[in-house]
């Protein structure tokens, strides 16, 4: 059973966020605060969670709106003191055109920043004995710039680095724990659109259970599956001419 009772998850209407909400509903959470942009999908997730006896609060929210995101998080904390906050909302770029690129950065970087900053302020002022944990969703794609998805890869590299750095800083100064997720291919609306090969594909419920168990252990970087993590790390340390040769041989999205 989870030690976290009051949990907030952004991007909870599908994929990892949806699976995390259901996992925590089944495993000891008392109050879930979930947001998304699609009301029908979000309400469906909430109803499935409520079947396990958990209280669920939903909010239709665009995390690129810093003012509204902060307002919502503060309201949630006033309702029940938050113990665990997932900055999880994210999008894929699909076609690398200006509009999509800007949206990818706005959601995957801006949305994370808009979630994490108020989370830090809340936890800085929380009682010492209260669980205080922030989880940032990055990706295996953030280990090295991927030519098949430049914008997505860049945004995930950004939040991965930020989460890793925040972990040391916030824990040292305020006893706030920070974990960064770097999953491989996990079933979501993003992977449903993929046309490229997806090795070591994982169902979202399996990924959520793995994530939650490692968050409980306060693991700093939760990267999986391990063969993809090893491969991504290895390519990232290769000389450029070798990594470029590898990428030229890999299939692209179409």
Establish if 73 belongs to a structural domain: yes
Burial class (CB in 10 A: 0-12, 13-18, 19+), 176: buried
The domain that holds 233 is classified in CATH as 3.40.50.720
* H runs (alpha helix) in the chain: 15-26, 39-50, 66-79, 98-105, 112-124, 150-174, 189-192, 204-216, 226-237, 240-249
101-113 confidence digits (pLDDT tens)? 999 999 999 999 9
Q: Which residues pair with 180 in a beta bridge?
A: 136, 221
41 Cα distance to chain centroid: 18
Count of structural domains within the chain: 1
Q: Is the peptide bond before 225 cis (omega within 30 degrees of 0)?
A: yes
- Provide the residue range defining the domain that includes 71: 6-249
Q: Which residues pair with 245 in a beta bridge?
A: none
User: What's the token pair of residue 52?
Assistant: 């396990």
Establish if 201 belongs to a structural domain: yes
Q: Which residues pair with 136 in a beta bridge?
A: 87, 180
Establish if 1 belongs to a structural domain: no
Q: What is the pTM of this model?
A: 0.91
134-173 confidence digits (pLDDT tens)? 999 999 989 988 888 899 999 999 999 999 999 999 999 9
Establish if 254 belongs to a structural domain: no
Establish if 114 belongs to a structural domain: yes
Establish if 12 belongs to a structural domain: yes
27-36 confidence digits (pLDDT tens)? 999 999 999 9
Nearest to 66 by CA among 117, 100, 15, 23: 117
- List per-block mean pLDDT (blocks of 10 residues) for the chain, which spans 254 residues: 93 95 97 97 97 98 98 98 98 90 98 98 93 96 87 96 97 97 78 57 89 97 84 77 70 54
Unique residue bearing structure tokens 């200006």: 98
Q: Which residues pair with 9 in a beta bridge?
A: 34, 86
Nearest to 228 by CA among 188, 198, 187, 192: 198
pLDDT given for residue 250 in this prediction: 67
Cα separation, 151 vs 206, whole angstroms: 27
């Amino acid at each position: 059973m989870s030690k976290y009772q009051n949990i907030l998850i952004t991007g909870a209407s599908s994929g990892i966020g949806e699976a995390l909400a259901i996992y925590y509903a089944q495993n000891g959470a008392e109050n879930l605060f979930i947001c998304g942009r699609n009301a029908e999908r979000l309400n469906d997730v909430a109803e499935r969670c409520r079947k396990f006896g958990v209280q669920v609060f939903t909010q239709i929210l665009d995390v690129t709106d810093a003012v509204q995101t902060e307002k919502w998080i503060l309201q949630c904390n006033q309702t029940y003191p938050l113990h665990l906050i997932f900055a999880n909302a994210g999008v894929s770029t699909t076609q690398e055109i200006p509009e999509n690129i800007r949206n990818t950065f706005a959601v995957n970087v801006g949305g994370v920043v808009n979630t994490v900053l108020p989370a830090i302020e809340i936890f800085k002022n929380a009682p010492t004995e209260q669980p205080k944990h922030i989880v940032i969703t990055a990706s295996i794609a953030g280990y090295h710039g991927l030519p098949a998805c430049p914008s997505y890869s860049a945004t995930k590299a950004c939040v991965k680095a930020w989460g890793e750095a925040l972990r040391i800083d916030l824990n040292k100064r305020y006893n706030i724990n920070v974990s960064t997720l770097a999953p491989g291919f996990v079933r979501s609306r993003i992977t449903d659109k993929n046309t490229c090969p997806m090795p070591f594909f994982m169902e979202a419920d399996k990924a959520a259970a793995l994530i939650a168990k490692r968050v409980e252990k306060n693991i700093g970087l939760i990267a999986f599956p391990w063969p993809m993590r090893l491969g991504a790390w290895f390519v990232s340390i290769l000389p450029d001419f070798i990594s470029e040769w590898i990428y030229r041989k890999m299939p692209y999205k179409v």
